[in-house]
Amino acid sequence: MYSKIIVAVDAAAIDKADRIVPRAVKLLREGGSIVLVSVVEDLPGYVLAEVPVGISLDARREAEARIEDLRRRHGLAATIEVRQGAPARELLTAAAEHDADLIILASHKPDFSNYFLGATADRIVRHAQCSVLVDR
């Protein structure tokens, strides 16, 4: 059983989060806590010139709304964090800041460039200082 679990939530693939949240609840020690973390990726500079100014803020708001809905549907008393940057780096930072003992994330079906795990899952598995559960 784990006392602090980081659940990585891709707001664009909330169905995957619906699968992993119940796992987090089952693995949570009594009195423990869950942190739902979503990361809005930075847009490259060459793209920023072509998109509306508030697009990043809109993406954060949409992610917060989707995660809040996820939390409500599962009846969780979890903390929500929406971060901005590279997903693997931000999830590892969140785990370190919260002193997490487990990170749970879903992995997409990879192509040949990242055959065994998705790129984000691969980086987290390699660099995490705590246990990692990857749902496939």
> Over 60: is that where the pLDDT of 130 sits?
yes
Of the candidates 128, 77, 76, the residue with the CA atom closest to the CA atom of residue 105: 128
In this structure, the dihedral spanned by the alpha carbons of residues 18, 24, 25 and 26, taken in order and rounded to 10 degrees, is 110
Domain with 67 in it: what CATH number? 3.40.50.620
Q: Cα–Cα distance between 88 and 123 in angstroms, integer?
A: 6
Q: How far apart are the first and last CA of the chain?
A: 21
What pLDDT score does 114 carry? 46
User: pLDDT tens-digit profile of 9-32?
Assistant: 999 999 999 999 999 999 999 999
- The whole domain housing 26 covers 2-131
User: pLDDT tens-digit profile of 50-106?
Assistant: 666 677 788 889 999 999 999 999 999 999 999 999 999 999 999 999 999 999 999
| Mean pLDDT of all residues belonging to the chain | 88
Give domain status of residue 136, yes or no. Answer: no
Is beta strand 28-40 parallel, antiparallel or unpaired with respect to 79-84? parallel
What the block records as the tokens of 19 is: 């699968």
